[in-house]
Structure 1
Amino acid sequence: MNRLNIAILALLTVLFIACKTEPDAKAVRQEVLNIHDKLMIDGEKVIKNKMKLDTLLVSDQIKLSPDSAVLKQKIVGLITQLNAADEKMMDWMHFFKDDFKGKTAQEDLDYYKSEMVKIRAVEDKYIKVTKASDSLIRIYNVK
């Protein structure tokens, strides 16, 4: 490469880095709320899966299974996890301050970033427990 190309590349790199800004509190807040909205829909699935597992737990399909004790324990464990995921979401919603106003813009940003971490943890829990319960529901063809 000639020197002109290197200089242009270096200038573009500096400009790109200088223009890269951190998101503001409003943008992070909106992303948190978007995840919340998605989780509200996923929460319906969590509750439906819990109901299906409750039905499976008392079904003849499980009672007549040679390893029914192990299977019941697995189902009860999944129901417990589904309940815990739902409770974690309710706790997050209870403590979340949608209209948070800190003393500075940085405090607002820090608050919404910390809420992002919390809501992502709820999302991860929902994903894991929904996949596990979906799998068992599919295996036993629960409608």
Structure 2
Amino acid sequence: MKIITGVLLVFSLLAGSCQSETKEHSHPDGTTNAAGPVAELEKQVLATHDSVMTQMSELMRLKKVVSTQLEKATDAATKQRGLAVREQLDGADQLMMDWMHEYNGDTLKKLDQAQGLVYLKDQQTKVNTVREAMQKSLADAKRYVD
């Protein structure tokens, strides 16, 4: 009896997995595999986010280096510049955290294609702002520590 139950369980699992999937399927990372311009723009937005995320460890490393140099700085101009650089790094970090907190891929499931494109274009603008702030703060911090 246990063998028959096991065989039936395996067949039911196989049958369920072989059924055709719906056109739109949610992934654990929040993306969908919906076809069309919404899916393509969503991929672009998330690719931009992913490229910025790879720079976060460098940002944190530079924050530590800048803070260490600030402690050792003796003249006011160097301290002032270091404080501005650290504030810029903090700002870029906060922009990224805010964007990640506010972005909601589940929103796309509730919107039609036109609304989805509007939402994603807005998100692309925001994540591009994050990327630009990150790149500028990293470049300024590297100049400061060198």
TM range (shorter): 0.7 to 0.9
**TM-score in terms of structure 2 length:** 0.72
Count of residue pairs brought into register by the alignment: 110
Tell me the amino acid that sits aligned with residue 82 of structure 2: I
For structure 1, the residue ranges without an aligned partner over 5 or more in a row are 1-22, 139-143
**2:141 is matched by which residue type in structure 1?**
S
Could you say which residue in structure 1 is the equivalent of 2:127? 119
Alpha-carbon distance in 2 for matches of 1:31, 1:104: 19
RMSD: 1.2
Query: What's the counterpart of residue 50 of structure 1?
Result: 63
Write the distance in 2 (CA, Å) between the matches of 1:26 and 1:88: 24
Identity %: 26
Match of 2:86 among 79, 84, 92: 79
Higher relative contact order, structure no. (Cα contacts within 8 Å, ≥ 6 residues apart): 1
Which of 102, 111, 130 aligns to 1:103? It is 111
Could you tell me how far apart the structure 2 residues matched to 1:40 and 1:50 are?
16
Match of 1:136 in 2: 144
In the aligned structure 1, how far is the partner of 2:60 from the partner of 2:122?
A: 27
Whole-Å separation in 2 of the counterparts to 1:34 and 1:85: 18
Q: Any gaps of 5 or more consecutive residues in structure 2?
A: 1-35
Report the Cα distance in structure 2 between the residues aligned to 1:25 and 1:83, rounded to whole angstroms. Answer: 32
SS in 2 for 1:98: coil
Which aligned runs of 4 or more in structure 1 are off by greater than 4 angstroms?
none
